[in-house]
Amino acid sequence: MITKRIIACLDVHGGRVVKGVQFVDLIDAGDPATQAARHAREGADEIVLLDITATHEGRQTLLDTVRRTARELFVPFTVGGGIRSADDAAQAFEAGADKVSVNSAALADPTLIDAIGRNFGSQAVVVAIDARRDASAADPVREAQVFVQGGRKLAGRRVVEWAREAEMRGAGEILLTSMDSDGMRTGFDCELTSAVSESVNIPVIASGGAGTVGHFVDVFGRGKADAALAASIFHFGVSSARSLKEELAKAGVSVRLPC
């Protein structure tokens, strides 16, 4: 039986893992290669490394980090942040990434999705969408807005419509982050996640808001997510993917166990 995936996400800044609340107030949370290996050992189904600096000068640092992280990692490994061209993607793949995640660069030029998919296959392209409900809209969920620049700026696209376009262009997965919930540990936005998941035929990875096991049960059930991303729940020894999955199994969610 296909299982729900628990994906460990490492936000990386200047070669170090960091964690903030709503993308600000960053705290150092360790070495990416060490953290990725630990998460894989402790049962994470997949690792995502998001470079939140993503500056031009930082690219070489990022590629070194990717190479070092990928070396002994034998689960799927996604790299995001600063992938602006098919060439950037090629370098990330060469360094050991299995998938790249594209966000603002794909919004600026949607053909980037086609280009990476054509060269490396759809399975290698994750389109990350930073979303906020639109309180002023008739339907705040179905008309949720896409944001860029770490959630500071409107992209001028509706989330559901952009996810559909991304799929049509050859995205293999959607990584949906609720900016309203991110870092708050109050739960995923299940309504928004299910609205997107029901609109596309590719997997949707829910992100933003994980704080308890119950939040994961909700997003896999009501939220219709295929996978869920977790960062803060794993850091600082709060929990491990394995213990999370053992609890999910007890709640009737199909997960990869033993792992």
Tokens of 193: 């996640």
Packing angle of the helix pair 190-197, 159-169 (nearest 10 deg): 40
Q: Is 11 a catalytic residue?
A: yes
Nearer to other proteins, 90 or 184 (CB): 90
Which of 31, 130, 173, 180: binder of other proteins (CB under 8 A)? 173
Backbone φ and ψ of 214, nearest 5°: -60, -35
* Residue ranges in 29-68 that form contacts with other proteins under rule CB under 8 A: 40, 45
The pattern of x and - marking residues 180 through 219 that bind other proteins according to CB under 8 A reads ---------------------xxx----------------
Q: What's the DSSP call for residue 78?
A: E
The pattern of x and - marking residues 71 through 110 that bind other proteins according to CB under 8 A reads xx-xxx----------------xxxx-x------------
Pick the catalytic residue: 11, 189, 218, 226?
11
Determine the straight-line distance between the first and last CA of the chain, rounded to whole angstroms: 15
Q: Is 130 a catalytic residue?
A: yes
DSSP letters, 99-131, are: EEEE-HHHHH-THHHHHHHHHH-GGGEEEEEEE
Pick the catalytic residue: 130, 180, 189, 218?
130
CB of 206 to other proteins, least distance (A): 14
Packing angle of the helix pair 86-94, 111-120 (nearest 10 deg): 40
Other beta carbons within 10 angstroms of residue 100's beta carbon come to 24
3-class state of residue 164 by DSSP: helix
Nearer to other proteins, 3 or 212 (CB): 3
* Residue ranges in 7-26 that form contacts with other proteins under rule CB under 8 A: none
Which of 81, 172, 187, 209: binder of other proteins (CB under 8 A)? 172
CB of 79 to other proteins, least distance (A): 12
Distances (CA, A) of 216 to 127, 173, 177, 209, 231: 21, 19, 14, 10, 13
Site residues for other proteins per CB under 8 A? 1-5, 40, 45, 70-72, 74-76, 93-96, 98, 120-124, 172-173, 201-203, 226-227, 256, 259
Residues forming the active site: 11, 130
